[in-house]
Structure 1
Amino acid sequence: MARPTPEARTAYPYHHPTPTRWADNDVYGHVNNVIYYAYFDTAVNAYLAARGALDVQGGAVIGLVVETGCAFFAPATFPETLGVGVRVAHLGRSSVRYELAVFREGEDAACAQGHFVHVYVDRETRRPTELPAAFRAALEDLRVG
């Protein structure tokens, strides 16, 4: 499998500003790899909430992560404000493949990029359910390819 190459900022239609925290750094002096997944999750959910598609407390539909991955190209550190780019590569009946990238301020190439696959399920039954219209509309604006 070929190693991915860093993509450009312009490849992502939405960017969420994400300040690093002191606790994000590890003993090697850079943001720890697991923290990037929190950045990804925050960017996706902030976008959906801002678009009125996500009701974390009472919505009938919730997203479950079924697959994730990340490639790292350059370190980020505290203190920085990163930009997390978000796009939708696949939009199914109940699933979405989000592709994400982290950009350091003033840099065009991603320092990390990855993906999440979410399956949206009924909050009560935990069975896959069709994406509500508000979700689909918000995600269409991020769809690429």
Structure 2
Amino acid sequence: MKHVYTAVMPIRWGDMDAMGHVNNTVYFQYLEQARIEWFASLGRGGKDPKGQGPVIINAHMTFLKQLRYPGTIECRLYAGQLGRTSFETRMEVVRTDMPGVVWAEGGAKVVWCDYAVEKAVPVPEEIRTIVEA
């Protein structure tokens, strides 16, 4: 897997649950935010209902340590395992004040889709080039 993007974001007070740590569902939002920022950096941000773009067909996360407010995290996004219409992404979550410690890791399978007909289409060449490099 190739490192393609790093998103930096704060741990927000509202990210925590009644147990006093970041809720497990929020990690998926971190993954989503990093992925969306990466696509936007490639000029593939936003959604044109008649256009093409990414659809997530599965997502997974392993929680290694409990994140707590306050803090800032880096979501390191990796891409690889390129197919004709899809590729895998993987993410590591680290706190910026503890850069060597991975707090969570996960990923998602991205399928490139024609939104109007709801069918998979080939991954665009510019994304294919980045993932293959």
Distance 1:133 1:12 in 2: 18
Q: In the TM superposition, what whole-angstrom CA distance separates every residue of 1:62-81 from its partner, at most 9, and x where no partner exists?
A: 22211111111111112211
Distance 1:88 1:124 in 2: 26
Instruction: Give 1:17 shift.
Output: 0.1
Question: Which AA in structure 2 matches 1:27?
Answer: A
Instruction: Give 1:13 shift.
Output: 5.0
Q: Please state which structure has a larger fraction of its residues in strand.
A: 2
Question: Which AA in structure 2 matches 1:131?
Answer: V
The 5 A counterparts of 1:43-122 are 43-52=34-43, 54-58=44-48, 60-107=51-98, 108-122=100-114
SS in 1 for 2:46: coil
**Is structure 2 residue 8 aligned with structure 1 residue 17?**
yes
State the match for 1:35 in structure 2: 26
Instruction: Give 1:24 shift.
Output: 0.5
Instruction: Give 1:103 shift.
Output: 0.2
Distance 1:19 1:43 in 2: 13
SS in 1 for 2:77: strand
Distance 2:116 2:90 in 1: 28
Over the matched positions of the two proteins, sequence identity in percent amounts to 25
Give me the CA root mean square deviation. 1.8
Contact kept, 8 Å, 1:49 with 1:55, in 2: the verdict is yes
**CA separation of 1:95 and 1:13: change in aligned 2, threshold 3 A:** closer
My pick for the range that moved more, 32-41 or 63-72, is 63-72
Tell me the number of residue pairs that the alignment of Structure 1 and Structure 2 aligns: 130
Instruction: Give 1:12 shift.
Output: 4.2
Contact kept, 8 Å, 1:61 with 1:122, in 2: the verdict is yes
TM-score (norm 1): 0.81
Contact kept, 8 Å, 2:61 with 2:104, in 1: the verdict is yes
Which of structure 1's runs of 4+ aligned residues deviate more than 6 A? none
